[in-house]
Structure 1
Amino acid sequence: MTTPVLRLADAEIGDITDLVDTELYPLHDFDSVRLQALIEHARAELAEDGCCVLSGFLRPEALAQAGVEGQQLSPKTFYSRRLVNVYFTENDPTLPEQDPRRTFMERTSGFVTRDMIPPDAVIHRIYVSPMMKRFIAACLNEEVIYEYADPYAGLVQNVLPTGTQQPWHFDTNEFIVSMMTQKPEQGGMFEYSPMIRSRTEENLEGVGRVVRGEDRESVKILELNPGDLQIFKGRFSAHRVTQVAGSRERHTAIFAYSEQPGIIGRAERTRQLYGRLSEAHLEAEARKVRSDALLD
């Protein structure tokens, strides 16, 4: 049995001015005074605490379409319920009890992976668009950014029905760009502890206090709305989404980019999140293609 070739969005057809509110975000006019001011604003926000929210990024009709498409994708969601620590590593009883690797939390969220998202979907077109990548790179003060090479995690829709949540965790790449497309009736708040670790320092003590609930002073809370574009340095800031309540699911598109090409998620975490592995994951696990040496 042959594996079908994945159909992905075409980066050469990258004009998304029909989707983005260009009055607010003129991505097509990169050197415009307005866009350059937005880029400077984003850089300042990211430098302060690793998070920037750009409200009303999509045109109303594009946001409505993204909402409908998200509802159509929802039945494809892979759900899993398990106990995880902030690093998605196995329990190690040789470590001290206060080590954050010994604190396990219930994860009950679900994902629709990139290979299941149609190439003409709003979120897929946004993800591959060169003008989008140029804008995000500029906000991050990078010359260029790359799509995540992971065939599943490059673009996902996170789905949180009532009673589900994302516990404290770090992202596997340097930063995450996301956009809510459907807001739940209650809950689903985004909480984060800004830049709690660095590329070279894990800060296990500080992370432990946050995940155990002992430190709430360093935690910031965001109430995101559909159409908000969030740029977030989730590699270094522990974050979570609180439990959702009500009949309406929380849908968020997650656009994974990287400063380096070829980044693929670790096999064990991929299996936990998406329930399966591809040949690319097995090959990457052998090569250990990573951008740093952090726990995860």
Structure 2
Amino acid sequence: MSETALALADAERTDLSDLVDTECYPLEDFNGPRMQDVIGRVQDDLAEDGCAVLRGFMRPAALQRASAEGRELARKTFFSSARVNAWFTRDDPSLGDDDPRRIFMDRTSGFVTRDMIPADMVIQQIYVSPAMKRLVAACIGEDEVFEYADPFAGLVQNVLPPGTSQPWHYDTNEYIVTMMTEKPEVGGEFEYCPNIRSAAGENYDRVGAVIRGEDMATSKTLRLEPGDLQLFKGRYSLHRVTEVGGERERHTAIFAYSQQPGVVGRLERTRQLYGRVSEAHIQAERERVERADGLLD
């Protein structure tokens, strides 16, 4: 077995040149003009559109390995099906029938959680690397970002088999970082509505028009390729993944970083997505402080 294959996730590892295309993204010369140009472009795209993509972030050999590892990981997937609204909240009969919070959509979720992803796998090595955290922090304008304290949700692989999709929803974290490792033959496209809500309010009228299919102009479609690194403002931009077709699954690594240490996911949402909770989730729920922005999720 090669030295690369034996590499483990290492929180001190700063050299990702065997995994990342450092000719295009020179992480080792972080303050140099080429890398700063990349960061500036990402910041501009996030500010304008809520989304930015680093095309071809991974080296072909590393991507090939990550794809193979992802197919192996997919055997561990926990699947759940539910009727959910965009906020993952329960039905409230006191609201009007046309309120978007009362629009429930079919969701089939497939996830492999971090505790099931071995330390030698490519996505674990990328997730814990200080070079990766430094890149993400710079792109979102922070001095530092942190791995989730959540034992399940910090790093997950999302698995969408043919016939499944993710309906309109928001992310709990302000920013999310993802990388597709397996592309379906048909469908599985990422659609999003940039900054459709804000800390100032939910914008229910416009959100409802999108969810009901009355507004077809607000959403954008992003066509991703395996190995592309996506940074996305998922807390403020409504988004979905269209139905997967063909014979091949859609696999995406989700790298969850937070702007504060110690983040643990909500108890009920964790149970819905992963089929189980840990003592960390139970304790965090006891100590939960509501988000300062006042948004539902």
The corresponding residue for 1:153 is 153
Query: Superposed, which structure 2 residues align to 1:121-200 within 5 Å?
Result: 121-200=121-200
Q: Which amino acid aligns with 2:32?
A: S
Question: What are the superposed Cα offsets for residues 187-228 of structure 1, whole Å, 9 maximum, x if unpaired?
Answer: 000000000111231112221111111111110001111001
Query: Superposed, which structure 2 residues align to 1:208-287 within 5 Å?
Result: 208-287=208-287
Q: 1:260 to 1:291 in 2, by over 3 A?
A: farther
TM-score (norm 1): 0.95
Q: Which amino acid aligns with 1:295?
A: L
Q: Is the 8 A contact 2:193 2:239 kept in 1?
A: yes
Deviation at 1:109, TM superposition (A): 2.5
Question: What are the superposed Cα offsets for residues 68-107 of structure 1, whole Å, 9 maximum, x if unpaired?
Answer: 0000100100001110000001111111112211000000
What SS is found at the alignment partner of 2:57? Answer: coil
Matches of 1:9 and 1:88 in 2, distance apart?
33
Matches of 1:99 and 1:45 in 2, distance apart?
31
Matches of 1:284 and 1:130 in 2, distance apart?
26
Q: 1:17 to 1:49 in 2, by over 3 A?
A: same
Q: 1:54 to 1:156 in 2, by over 3 A?
A: same
1:206 aligns with 2:199: no
Question: What are the superposed Cα offsets for residues 27-60 of structure 1, whole Å, 9 maximum, x if unpaired?
Answer: 1111111100000000100000110011000011
The corresponding residue for 1:26 is 26
Q: Is the 8 A contact 2:77 2:110 kept in 1?
A: yes
Q: Which amino acid aligns with 1:294?
A: L
Deviation at 1:290, TM superposition (A): 5.5
Q: Is the 8 A contact 2:166 2:242 kept in 1?
A: yes
Q: 1:143 to 1:274 in 2, by over 3 A?
A: same
Q: Is the 8 A contact 2:13 2:131 kept in 1?
A: no
Matches of 1:50 and 1:281 in 2, distance apart?
29
The corresponding residue for 1:294 is 295
Matches of 1:210 and 1:202 in 2, distance apart?
13
Deviation at 1:9, TM superposition (A): 3.3
Matches of 1:72 and 1:289 in 2, distance apart?
38
The corresponding residue for 1:4 is none
Structure 2 portions without partners, runs of 5+: 1-7
Deviation at 1:145, TM superposition (A): 1.0
Q: Which amino acid aligns with 2:242?
A: T
Query: Superposed, which structure 2 residues align to 1:33-182 within 5 Å?
Result: 33-182=33-182
What SS is found at the alignment partner of 2:256? Answer: strand
Q: Which amino acid aligns with 1:29?
A: D
Matches of 1:28 and 1:244 in 2, distance apart?
37
CA RMSD of aligned residues (A): 1.2
Shifted more, 188-197 versus 203-212: the winner is: 203-212
Deviating 4+ runs (over 4 angstroms):
none
Q: Which amino acid aligns with 2:134?
A: R
Structure 1 portions without partners, runs of 5+: 1-7
